[in-house]
Structure 1
Amino acid sequence: MKYIDEFRDGAIARKIADRLAQEALPGRRYSFMEFCGGHTHAISRYGVVGLLPANVTMVHGPGCPVCVLPIGRIDMAIALALEHGAIVCTYGDTMRVPASGGLSLVRAKARGGDIRMVYSAADALAIARTNPQREVVFFAIGFETTTPPTALVVRDAAREGLSNFSVLCCHVLTPAAITHILQSPEVRQYGTVPIDGFVGPAHVSIVIGSAPYEGFAQAYAKPVVIAGFEPLDVMQAVLMLVRQVNEGRAVVENEFTRAVTRSGNANAQALMDEVFELRESFEWRGLGEVPASALRLQPRYAAFDAEQRFGLGYKSVADNKACECGAILRGVKKPQDCKIFGTVCTPENPVGSCMVSSEGACAAHYSYGRFKDIPVVAEVV
């Protein structure tokens, strides 16, 4: 790749669309879940759906780390700031996710909590170094993409003997969530949709490689194509999935060969293994408790575990009853199916997590797709 424009070429997109029209069998329907919010954003922004055959449906998945973060975890971070007097550092999208009692991190900041937006885990560590008399907690969220930087700062803090630094670890794992969607009776009782295959996450796969998806692709006969985040990446991945379904194959293929390998980044994986271990279970918004789907600090780094340091206990909190984020994260509903989408719930005033993050399905749909799917009368209202 020389220029990013190569992956946004309209003429090439139309050629792929023509090929899809030829190869998608008229007598069947195809339903593919794009797990990652970056793909949802690309599909909405560049009008990819409009280039797909009518019998090919894209289903939004739970692949936005801010969106799947349950309210109870945000409540823990707020408590650290308001009740324990800690400096809480986190990424920008997390600041506005609604929590209990009408609060969010940004509203807790307005109430006097020392809550700071940072661009990296290293920023949080730097704040701890310059505030030795204060407890500094990094509210760490994200999939495998953002996990290695958190592991690095924990290791650095241990080597420096930085006793005022800790991490509230909410890192979650992609393959476990996909498996849970396919097999969990709990998820099925919430409601699911037929899924013929997955557009696999790009940035996550740079770290973990494509190999971790091979087990469930075989076990559940669901093809996976790892794809980049540009519109041509997504369209080519859909074409590859259609071909696998037509041929009765269910394997992991890699469209994003310019960045992803089968084995991934060995150094990043070794660092993660050194610092973290699996939690037995972790609650995901929209999916409930997902076994072996999240990380916590290894016993050797327990001194930097904010949950242990401050004696925090997790309490599950139900979502706003008017919000359909849970169903949207499972692909059961689309953003426009939510009664408050685009009216009460907007990016400026988000009610649910799917509207907070720019990678959330509701935010992407609000920005790029709402005028296609919502009647004009409703839009005016």
Structure 2
Amino acid sequence: MSAESELLEKIRTLSRPVKIMHICGTHERTISRNGLRDVLPEEIEVLSGPGCPVCVTPKEEIDRAIALAESGIIVTSFGDMMRVPGSSGSLMDARSRGCDVRMVYSIDDAIAIAEKDPESKVVFFAIGFETTTPTNAAAILRKPPENFSLLLTHKLTIPAIEALIDEIEVDAFIAPGHVCTIIGIHPFEQFAEKGFPIIAAGFEADELLLSILMILEQLKAGEYKVENAYPRAVKDEGNVRAQEMMDKVFKVTDSQWRGLGTIPDSGMVMRPEFSQYNASIIYADLIAEKMKNISYENSLSSLCHCADILKGKEKPDNCPLFSKKCTPSNPVGSCMVSQEGMCYNWFRYRGVDSA
């Protein structure tokens, strides 16, 4: 009997009505790819939270990046981010209009572009949770070239969970393993104190099944605590050095999330002493001029259910646009763009794309 089969047998013996939310796009990809929802008992519901950084980046931030590209600045970004729709198209659309928008795999690739072309201005569109933030902090501490800067839209996981707890019906959380490698498991203890079992999980199918089993064991015992089911990568205290670098370069601020609105203390901005690398300051007037006529009222399509999908309130196939007007090749909502997005994974792994 495989490890997955053994875990499923144990899960079935402890099964009870429970809603478990993960906050990780990679977890969603593993769950969808392996059909875990289909093999779990029906009374165990696994919800997908706002764990896809591409998905939660608001239109305003994309419009800011497009404004820079339209002004003759080289804008670099991860591949998925280039396809997320802003108010009037994506960065990919801007590139098709002749703007210099380039896909990179890391901030080091973007810095290399700036070093190779010192006469041009180069901006790296820096997105992501705590997983990618230390890399960007380290790059700034290495003092990149003067023609290089960051357009920053980093998000923090804990405040997002805090914002969701009072809005959604959920019984337990699977904590994102990548994030936990940086911040550790202690920041999640506040949720356990409120009665939510929390398991830091890895990314294989058996690791996610193990996390579900551990949640059920806690519920049976009437215990609510944070447990580390990913010890090969996660230390309870996290990566202290990475935390120090983040704190040295960035500070916490309120941040807007697509579909979730503004969440207090959920983002990061560059500290004043590094403002020479802050594209939002360097190009503030340029961005303001380009964006002065853009309105963000009702900025999400009235038919797109992305906001509720990101909150775990809705499933993709209940959205009237899903697999019809909204597909990976023509995404209306951000959840259909990234390989970490729930809509993308449901389209890719639930037979929709081959139907």
* TM-score under structure 1 length normalisation: 0.88
Question: Alignment partner for residue 321 of structure 1, among 302, 308, 312?
Answer: 302
- 1:223-278: per-residue Cα shift (whole Å, max 9, x none)? 11000010000000001111112222211111111110111111111111111001
> Equivalent pairs: percent with the same residue?
42
Q: Which segment is superposed worse, 306-315 or 257-266?
A: 306-315
Please report how far the alpha carbon of residue 50 of structure 1 lies from its aligned counterpart in structure 2 after TM superposition.
2.1
Which letter does structure 2 place at the counterpart of 1:328?
A: I
Question: Alignment partner for residue 65 of structure 2, among 58, 77, 94?
Answer: 77
Please report how far the alpha carbon of residue 316 of structure 1 lies from its aligned counterpart in structure 2 after TM superposition.
7.3
What is the alpha-carbon distance in structure 1 between the residues aligned to residue 62 and residue 222 of structure 2?
A: 43
| Residue ranges of structure 1 left out of the alignment (5+ in a row) | 1-9
Partner SS for 1:293: strand
- 1:269-294: per-residue Cα shift (whole Å, max 9, x none)? 11111110011x11111211100000
Question: Alignment partner for residue 157 of structure 2, among 149, 163, 174?
Answer: 174
Question: Alignment partner for residue 127 of structure 2, among 129, 135, 141?
Answer: 141
Which letter does structure 2 place at the counterpart of 1:14?
A: S
Please report how far the alpha carbon of residue 217 of structure 1 lies from its aligned counterpart in structure 2 after TM superposition.
2.2
- 1:11-37: per-residue Cα shift (whole Å, max 9, x none)? 221111111111124xxx100001101
1:349 aligns with 2:330: yes
Query: 1:214-293 alignment to 2 at 5 Å?
Result: 214-218=189-193, 220-279=194-253, 281-293=254-266
What is the alpha-carbon distance in structure 1 between the residues aligned to residue 57 and residue 295 of structure 2?
A: 11
Contact 2:153 2:268 in 1 (8 A): yes
Q: Which residue of 2 aligns with 1:164?
A: 147
Q: Which residue of 2 aligns with 1:208?
A: 183
1:13 aligns with 2:4: yes
What is the alpha-carbon distance in structure 2 between the residues aligned to residue 319 and residue 131 of structure 1?
A: 38
The aligned length equals: 347
What is the alpha-carbon distance in structure 2 between the residues aligned to residue 345 and residue 53 of structure 1?
A: 30
What is the alpha-carbon distance in structure 2 between the residues aligned to residue 321 and residue 135 of structure 1?
A: 37
Question: Alignment partner for residue 32 of structure 1, among 14, 20, 30?
Answer: 20
Contact 1:122 1:149 in 2 (8 A): no
C-alpha RMSD over aligned residues: 1.6
- 1:337-371: per-residue Cα shift (whole Å, max 9, x none)? 11011111111111111010001000111111255
What is the alpha-carbon distance in structure 2 between the residues aligned to residue 247 and residue 227 of structure 1?
A: 20
What is the alpha-carbon distance in structure 2 between the residues aligned to residue 264 and residue 224 of structure 1?
A: 16
What is the alpha-carbon distance in structure 1 between the residues aligned to residue 221 and residue 60 of structure 2?
A: 45
1:310 aligns with 2:291: no
Please report how far the alpha carbon of residue 38 of structure 1 lies from its aligned counterpart in structure 2 after TM superposition.
0.7
Please report how far the alpha carbon of residue 122 of structure 1 lies from its aligned counterpart in structure 2 after TM superposition.
0.7
* TM-score under structure 2 length normalisation: 0.94
| Residue ranges of structure 2 left out of the alignment (5+ in a row) | none
Q: Which residue of 2 aligns with 1:109?
A: 95
Which letter does structure 2 place at the counterpart of 1:222?
A: F
- 1:56-111: per-residue Cα shift (whole Å, max 9, x none)? 000111100000001110000000010x211101111100001112x100010111
